[in-house]
Structure 1
Amino acid sequence: MSVQTVKQPMSMKNSVIMLMTFLLPLAILLIPTNELFTPQIRMYLTITLFAILTFIFGNINQTAISILLPIGYVVLAKAPAAAVFAPWSLYIPWFIIGGLFLANVMERTNLLKRIAYNSILLTGASYNGIIWGLSLAGVALFLLIPGNTVFPLAALAYGLCKALELEIGKETAGITMAAAISSLLPGWFIFNANWGLLTGLGKGVAGQVDLTWIQYLMYNSISIVFYAFMFWVITKMFKPAVPINAKEYFKDELVKLGKMSFDEKKVLIMCGMLFVFLLTTQYHKIEAGWGFVVFPMLLYFPGFNVATNEDIKNVNYGMAIFTAACMGIGTTAGVLGLGKVVATVMLPMLAGKGVMFIFGVVYSMIFSLNFLMTPLAIMSAFTLPLTEIAMSFGINPAAWYMFIQIAIDAIILPYEYVLYLIFFSFGIVKLSDFVKFQAMKTLLTIVFVFVILIPFWRLIGFLMM
């Protein structure tokens, strides 16, 4: 990574963006206050809009803003520190640290590559075999390091396309898009950080939402069918012009890795212990997320001794700070009463409408917001008020959070979701292919959610409270 030592002059475009970043939030201070729209809420919105604009434009260091955001709430908005910093008492920031740490260990020991290569060989390693193999690898890795599979699968897809000397086209698009959804869509049915983030953000309205790892999987089991269906779509949408067989390539790569090392086996043993913990949450009553923190750290303990100082040192702690700060947006909004303000404005418009209409309005809103805000910013800013609305209509908050998690994945362009942008940034997918696939995925998601998922939730009694 290069280090910039000479300060570059700010362009006119960047100057305008920087000006907007400061002036738009300050404009909120011109809005008169009343009993509903209090001075505290006005200051909160000013601070929050400033932070979100910096997250969108990337014009100020994200971690720096994440550190200053909760301080701004306490000092300027006079919000109680206990509410602002409450996310650090939850498992989500620690969950992220634990997951990133385990990913570092698995990557260093080559366990990540071994799982991915064997998954693809298991499905034949033809072009279709690669696509289906990535679907298996995505689930296998997501079970071990939920939410932290993007970089290893993106690197795998890029390396595979280069090793097979594929020209940029349908083949590279298919492999890359398969890797992308295999790294993200398992979160629709496997416990992950986004779920914890949403439950934490809505806690001020809905209270504690407790689902075990198994319950989360059961209530979302129908999503597994959609996950598999999307890989079938890829094999049809990006059908290769000539046959591809990568069996020898993956066999050679496994030979290079050699026999599974003792360290890899110890990591797998630790992962087995973690799964036992997850499967027994209904008995020990400990939130599943804590397991993803505690068990990876056991790799430092006698009997394991797998982890190194570099593994913990190389964790991206800025991501945990960023996530906690975004969660603080929701917890602070809750204690200041912003959810009630938004609900007061929106409820009359939704009064008398059916549940499907409410879900449709929110899905359309999130789809539109994706063009302007990051998914994390959308969740942080709108989960609490949207939960207030859901509770007003008797919608089960757990189902509501699952729905929001699916809706934020509805994108068209790469810039809308940084995790998809990572795959696109390798330069082996044409923009037209990316847009075509994401548009198709969004349309199919709408059909799935409103024709299959919501009726399924209604059938099993999960949709309403």
Structure 2
Amino acid sequence: MLSENNRMTSLFTYPRAIMLLVAIVALATGMAPPAWLPAGTAWTTALAFVTIGLYATGLIAEAITSLVFFLGAMLLAVAPADVVFSGFSSTAFWIIFGGLILGMSIRHTGLGQAIADRLLMRLPGRYSGLIAATVGAGLLLAFLMPGAMGRMVLIVPIAVAVADRAGFDEGSNGRIAVVLAAIFGTHLGSFAILPSNTPNVVWSGAMESMHGIDIGYIDYLWWHFPVLGLVRSALLVVVLVYAFPDRPGIRSEARDAPAPLDRDQRQTALVLLVALGFWATDALHGIGPAWVALGAALYCLFNASRLVPAKPFAALDMGPLLLLAGILGVGSVIAHAGIGEAAFTQLLPILPLEPAANAINYAVISIGGTALAVLTAMPGVPAIGVPLGETLANATGWSVQSVLTILAASYSTYLLPYQAPPILIGAQLGQVPWGALTRFTLGFAVLSIVLVFPLHYLWLQWIGVLTG
């Protein structure tokens, strides 16, 4: 009887219960679509619900969820094939492909362990110091390298090597914390640095093209970096230390003076430095980060079996590539159908926005944008929100620039990992368990809304940004 109860319990775990509810909602949406949905998008919305639910719960492998989405999208004809499979033609796909090859080279040559040994001789010995130093390194990299995907490719293999050399076994709290410190440290802070990720660039471009407002690098940094960059990075350190308590156990070989780099390690390091140089200066030469990554990967592949295994494609993990293509495909299909914009437009008239209610206005816009991001890719928040600038300005009594500045808090705060492909890719490269990633992402988002959003509002008020 007990074993039967255990079997029934295993059949009705929380992920399965959530997916059952999602499936019911999706079926109801497809058969009886709400009036606000654009015509002909009912089954598109239903498929999006199911796909997002599978990504969010991790009930099946993320790569398989992508394949389920591709098959469902084509069978239901929810969008043209070039929209459904747009992820495969995106530059992000090729950044990740190049990054996987570079990560393979870092592991194959032992460069990651060599770098980790040198870092551990300089990093603090305390656990909190190690996490803080990793977050700080990620934040510094966000200033040097504009592409979030490229940063993940560069920093995560090194973070894994540091965790290994610090004595954190696979699946341990310390290993998860170090990898998450690298991932979130370089990604969260980048939202306060104008050219460092795609949503920022979308926001800036839309502000100029739609409202004629040209935002400068220093202005944007002044508005957001003190709170969304520094304060939130400090909060990240505290949460990681307390959510994943552990104690470093530096391996004996890591305490010894590291051996000089061998020829293959030096060659891989040179490839990485050249790639970093091109990534940091893309505004000068115009070569996109994806093609820098692909060029670096080709150099490594031409030097198999020295820089990569003799059969590199047999060792290549296709999971991250399928995951990214699926995530981008879902976002493209939702954008193509206009579902996110329709939902936001439907809610806008009932939002409690009014002049002089500054704190409420900030809360509604920032939290509303965070909720909108559940239905769109992260760049979808500025893409949908910026065109509504005049409407929001009239409702709040603020200027267009003032009201749209708040969106940075929204599109930098994601409730679930699937909303931010760089986070997903970093977690895949660092082999962070899906459950730990999801719990941390949601928990940190809630803390950001409760603790960081009010500080951001007060800061914008104090420096005079939230004005009419």
Same fold (TM over 0.5): yes
Q: Deviations over 1:254-313 (max 9, x none)?
A: 648632121121122112221221233223333334323332332223699622345443
Alpha-carbon distance in structure 2 between the residues aligned to 1:68 and 1:266: 41
- Counting only pairs closer than 5 Å after superposition, residues 104-183 of structure 1 correspond to structure 2 as 104-126=104-126, 129-135=129-135, 138=138, 146-148=151-153, 149=155, 153=159, 156-157=162-163, 160=166, 177=177, 180-183=180-183
The one of 388, 403, 406 aligned to 2:409? 403
Judged with a 3 Å threshold, the aligned counterparts in structure 2 of structure 1 residues 203 and 271 are, in CA distance, closer, same or farther, namely same
Question: Corresponding residue for 2:395?
Answer: none
Q: Which residue of 1 aligns with 2:364?
A: 361
| CA distance in 2: counterparts of 1:457 and 1:108, whole angstroms | 53
* 2:124–2:130 contact (8 Å) kept in structure 1: yes
Structure 2 partner of 1:13: 12
Equivalence for 2:453: 446
Q: Distance in 2 between matches of 1:334 and 1:124?
A: 46
Whether the 8 Å CA contact 1:97–1:315 is kept in 2: the answer is no
Could you say if the C-alpha distance between residues 435 and 299 of structure 1 is closer, same or farther in structure 2, counting changes exceeding 3 Å? closer
Distance 1:320 1:458 in 2: 41
User: Does the CA-based 8 Å contact 2:111-2:265 persist in structure 1?
Assistant: yes
Cα shift at 1:325: 2.0
AA matched with 2:12: K
In the TM superposition, 1:1-400 aligns within 5 A as 11-13=10-12, 19-32=20-33, 37-126=37-126, 129-135=129-135, 138=138, 146-148=151-153, 149=155, 153=159, 156-157=162-163, 160=166, 177=177, 180-190=180-190, 195-196=197-198, 219=221, 222=226, 225-226=230-231, 229-230=234-235, 233=238, 249=250, 252-253=253-254, 255=256, 258-301=259-302, 306-350=307-351, 352=354, 360-361=363-364, 363-364=366-367, 378=374, 380=376, 384=380, 387-393=383-389
Task: Report the counterpart of residue 373 of structure 1 in structure 2.
Answer: none
Q: TM-score, normalised by structure 1?
A: 0.67
Gaps of 5+ in 2: 1-6, 211-215, 391-399, 418-422
Secondary structure of 1:316's counterpart equals coil
**8 Å CA contact 1:150, 1:183 repeated in 2:** yes
Cα gap change, 1:437 to 1:49, in 2 (>3 Å):
closer
Give CA deviations for 1:417-441 in whole Å, capped at 9, x if unaligned: 98599768999xxx9x999998766
Gaps of 5+ in 1: 1-7, 164-171, 209-213, 370-376, 412-416
Q: Partner amino acid for 2:321?
A: A
Q: Secondary structure at the match of 2:273?
A: helix
| Offset at residue 367 of structure 1 (A) | 6.9
Q: Report the Cα distance in structure 1 between the residues aligned to 2:68 and 2:434, rounded to whole angstroms.
A: 30
In 2, distance between residues paired with 1:457 and 1:292?
41
The structural deviation recorded for 1:458 is: 4.8
Higher deviation after alignment, 355-364 or 278-287: 355-364
Which AA in structure 1 matches 2:72? G
Cα displacement (A) at 1:48: 1.0
Tell me, in whole angstroms, the C-alpha distance in 2 between the residues paired with 1:424 and 1:302. Answer: 33
Closer, same or farther: CA 326–40 of 1 in aligned 2, 3 Å: farther
| Distance verdict in 2 for CA 1:448–1:159, change over 3 Å | farther
Q: In the alignment, is the contact (CA less than 8 A) between 2:113 and 2:165 conserved in 1?
A: no
Aligned-partner residue type, residue 308 of structure 1: P
Instruction: Give, in whole Å, the separation in 1 of the partners of 2:237 and 2:20.
Output: 47
Task: Provide the C-alpha distance between the structure 2 equivalents of 1:105 and 1:315, rounded to a whole number of angstroms.
Answer: 11
**How far off is 1:329 after superposition?**
2.2
Instruction: Give the whole-Å Cα distance in 1 for the aligned partners of 2:71 and 2:52.
Output: 15
In 1, distance between residues paired with 2:263 and 2:182? 28
CA contact (8 A) 2:98 2:293 kept: yes
Inter-partner Cα distance in structure 2 for 1:308 and 1:340: 47
What amino acid does structure 2 have at the position aligned with 1:95?
A: I
Q: What do you get for the CA RMSD once the two structures are aligned? A: 5.4
Q: Which is further off, 112-121 or 223-232?
A: 223-232
